[in-house]
């Protein structure tokens, strides 16, 4: 009866095909609950308390779907897919969440809370949604067209309220600790048709500055000129409403490539056929007059958009390199490398905290040090891993010393019990000879 009710509700909310898929996904779970010996002994039922249901789902994910499940510090469970396909696990969890939602609403489940929903995250998601709705309604200024590539389209951020969350299915700061990643992308790009100075400059600025793809492609000649046309440029930030509230910094080589691109490749597509010096003369060296000149242009003389760069250049470059990465991972890579460098080079804890605050200011994170704390969990674990390595090295050294002492004791005992025969060799014993001596001693003792 409950499954029938849930199936009808699913069909009303989704397509008939989706409802059938959901039903097929949860049926094996309920069957398993009724026949598995350990679940029967534990008294786990589909209509048990939320904690009991969660434990049963946890067991099912591990035992039947071959997942790894670990607790997250914020209370939910992170599901790492290892056996079944990611889509299979996603459909199962979504279907089960819908099932219990229907059961709570219809009164079939005797508890007020959906066991597949994490209450704290649900409240946070609702609060964030309400805040973003109010912010969008209060916004009075006009938005620039997303076709220009200077502003991301408006969209709501989605925070999951699920108790079980598949690793990688929602946004979490990623730790990109492979120092080779920029080189892999650039090398892959060199194999892509149409990859030129523009694509190399964009990719290098992404990795070297830590900027978002939308922010990097929104750079103008005026932004670059305002900071000397060398290694830095003013930049907008997420939520800054087009205001220049931060700056980007990149390598000397990138600055040279950017200048070369502007005066060669870009000049061919510039509406006026201008290079840097031409625009400076025209603008009479006033940065404000140059803010309307985008750094990166397409062949159609329009600003290069994030979508175009991602689909036609970044993704093919990653495919050629044999990796799966998103442009935003360049930002995570920059932050990971910056924090690693801070910890490796700072001499005191005070210096570490000061330089971390400088990083927060450079990145213009709204959440401030809270974002650093998320990344720090990785480095805390890594530093503890280094401590573990040291402890394990000490243990290994201790074991070797103990084995050496045992070997010496055995050798001494062998000398005391062996016949008084003059050795024919005068060279010191090797480790192999010591082992042979131990074996011979053991045989003589046994005899």
Predicted confidence at residue 172, as pLDDT, reads 43
Predicted confidence at residue 320, as pLDDT, reads 94
Q: Render pLDDT for 435-444 as a digit per residue (tens, 0 to 9).
A: 445 544 544 4
Q: Is the pLDDT of residue 20 over 80?
A: yes
- E strands, 291-356, are none
Q: Render pLDDT for 194-253 as a digit per residue (tens, 0 to 9).
A: 999 999 999 999 999 999 999 999 999 999 999 999 999 999 998 788 899 999 999 999
Predicted confidence at residue 149, as pLDDT, reads 42
Q: How far apart are CA 126 and CA 119, in angstroms?
A: 11
Mean per-residue pLDDT for 418-429? 50
Q: How far apart are CA 441 and CA 412, in angstroms?
A: 10
CB 206 within 8 A of CB 325: no
DSSP structural state of residue 169: S
Q: Is the pLDDT of residue 381 over 90?
A: no
Predicted confidence at residue 238, as pLDDT, reads 84
pLDDT band at 151 (very low <50, low <70, confident <90, very high): very low
**Type and span of the H or E element at 247:** strand 244-249
Percent of the chain with pLDDT over 70: 72
Say which residue, 342 or 390, is predicted with more confidence. Answer: 342
C-alpha closest to that of 214 among 304, 132, 135:
304
Is 327 strand, coil or helix?
Answer: coil
pLDDT band at 147 (very low <50, low <70, confident <90, very high): very low
Predicted confidence at residue 424, as pLDDT, reads 47
Out of 10-14, 42-46, 276-280, least confident range: 10-14
Q: Render pLDDT for 316-351 as a digit per residue (tens, 0 to 9).
A: 999 999 988 889 989 989 998 898 899 889 999 999
Q: Which domains does the chain have, with CATH numbers?
A: 1-172 (no CATH), 181-328 (1.10.443.10)
Is 303 strand, coil or helix?
Answer: strand
Contacts 24+ apart (CB under 8 A), 397-405: none
Q: Calculate the average pLDDT of the chain.
A: 80
Q: How far apart are CA 57 and CA 46, in angstroms?
A: 10
Phi–psi pair at 440, nearest 5 degrees = -65, -40
CB 249 within 8 A of CB 276: no
Say which residue, 213 or 146, is predicted with more confidence. Answer: 213
pLDDT band at 264 (very low <50, low <70, confident <90, very high): very high
pLDDT band at 139 (very low <50, low <70, confident <90, very high): very low
> How many CA atoms, within 13 angstroms, populate the side-chain half-sphere of residue 211?
27
Say which residue, 108 or 430, is predicted with more confidence. Answer: 108
Q: How far apart are CA 410 and CA 402, in angstroms?
A: 12
Q: How far apart are CA 145 and CA 335, in angstroms?
A: 30
105: tokens are 């609403």
Out of 91-105, 228-242, 399-413, least confident range: 399-413
Percent of the chain with pLDDT over 90: 47
CB 259 within 8 A of CB 229: yes
Say which residue, 150 or 218, is predicted with more confidence. Answer: 218
Length, in residues, of the chain:
447
Out of 148-162, 211-225, 410-424, least confident range: 148-162
Q: Of the segments 59-68, 142-151, 298-307, which one has the largest average pLDDT value?
A: 298-307
Q: How far is CA 295 from CA 80, 154, 223, 244, in A?
A: 41, 24, 9, 15
Q: Of the segments 164-178, 252-266, 382-396, which one has the largest average pLDDT value?
A: 252-266
> How many CA atoms, within 13 angstroms, populate the side-chain half-sphere of residue 370?
5
Buried b (16+ CB within 10 A) or exposed e, 312-349: bbbbbbbebbeeebebbbbbbbbbbbbbbebeeeeeee
Q: How far apart are CA 294 and CA 223, in angstroms?
A: 9
Q: Is the pLDDT of residue 99 over 90?
A: yes
Predicted confidence at residue 408, as pLDDT, reads 80
Q: Render pLDDT for 170-188 as a digit per residue (tens, 0 to 9).
A: 444 455 667 889 999 999 9
> How many CA atoms, within 13 angstroms, populate the side-chain half-sphere of residue 402?
6
CB 323 within 8 A of CB 180: no
C-alpha closest to that of 46 among 67, 70, 19, 27:
27
Dihedral class, residue 286 (left if φ above 0, else alpha if ψ from -120 to 50, else beta): beta
Q: How far apart are CA 94 and CA 105, in angstroms?
A: 16
C-alpha closest to that of 30 among 53, 47, 46:
46
CB 164 within 8 A of CB 57: yes
pLDDT band at 162 (very low <50, low <70, confident <90, very high): confident
Predicted confidence at residue 226, as pLDDT, reads 94
Q: Is the pLDDT of residue 432 over 90?
A: no
C-alpha closest to that of 242 among 199, 297, 292:
292
């Amino acid at each position: 009866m409950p499954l029938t009710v849930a199936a009808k509700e699913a069909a009303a909310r989704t397509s008939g095909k989706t409802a059938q898929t959901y039903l097929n996904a949860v049926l094996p779970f309920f069957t398993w609950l009724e026949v598995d010996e350990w679940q029967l002994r534990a008294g786990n039922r589909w209509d048990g308390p939320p904690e009991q249901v969660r434990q049963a789902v946890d067991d099912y994910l591990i035992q039947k779907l071959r997942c790894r499940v670990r607790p997250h510090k914020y209370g939910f469970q992170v599901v790492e897919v290892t056996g079944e396909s990611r889509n299979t696990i996603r459909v199962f969890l979504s279907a089960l969440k819908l099932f219990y939602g229907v059961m709570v609403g219809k009164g079939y489940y005797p508890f007020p809370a959906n066991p597949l929903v994490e209450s704290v995250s649900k409240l946070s998601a609702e609060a964030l949604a309400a805040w973003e709705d109010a912010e969008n309604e209060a916004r009075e200024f006009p938005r620039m067209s997303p076709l220009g590539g200077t502003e991301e389209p408006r969209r709501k951020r989605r925070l999951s309220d699920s108790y079980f969350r598949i690793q990688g299915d929602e946004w979490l700061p990623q730790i990109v600790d492979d120092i080779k990643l920029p080189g892999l992308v650039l090398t892959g790009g060199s194999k892509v048709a149409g990859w030129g100075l523009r694509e190399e400059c964009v990719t290098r600025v992404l990795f070297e500055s830590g900027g978002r793809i939308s922010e990097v492609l929104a750079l103008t000649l005026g932004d670059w000129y305002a900071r000397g046309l060398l290694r830095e440029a003013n930049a907008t930030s997420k939520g800054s409403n087009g205001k220049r509230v931060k700056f980007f910094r990149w390598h000397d080589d990138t600055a040279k490539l950017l200048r070369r691109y502007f005066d060669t490749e870009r000049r061919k597509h510039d509406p006026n056929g201008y290079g840097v010096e031409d625009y400076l003369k025209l603008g009479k060296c006033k940065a404000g007059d140059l803010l309307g000149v985008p750094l990166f242009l397409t062949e159609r003389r329009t600003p290069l958009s994030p979508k175009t760069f991602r689909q036609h250049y970044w993704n093919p470059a990653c495919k050629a390199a044999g990796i799966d990465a998103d442009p935003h991972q360049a930002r995570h890579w920059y932050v990971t490398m910056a924090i690693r460098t801070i910890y490796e080079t700072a001499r005191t804890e005070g210096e570490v905290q000061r330089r971390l605050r400088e990083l927060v200011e450079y990145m213009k994170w709204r959440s401030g040090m809270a974002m650093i704390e998320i990344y720090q969990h990785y480095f805390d674990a890594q530093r503890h891993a280094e401590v573990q390595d040291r402890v394990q090295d000490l243990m290994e050294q201790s074991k070797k010393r103990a084995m050496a002492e045992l070997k010496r004791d055995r050798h001494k005992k062998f000398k005391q019990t062996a016949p008084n025969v003059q050795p024919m060799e005068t060279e010191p014993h090797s480790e192999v000879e010591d082992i042979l001596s131990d074996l011979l001693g053991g045989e003589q003792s046994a005899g």
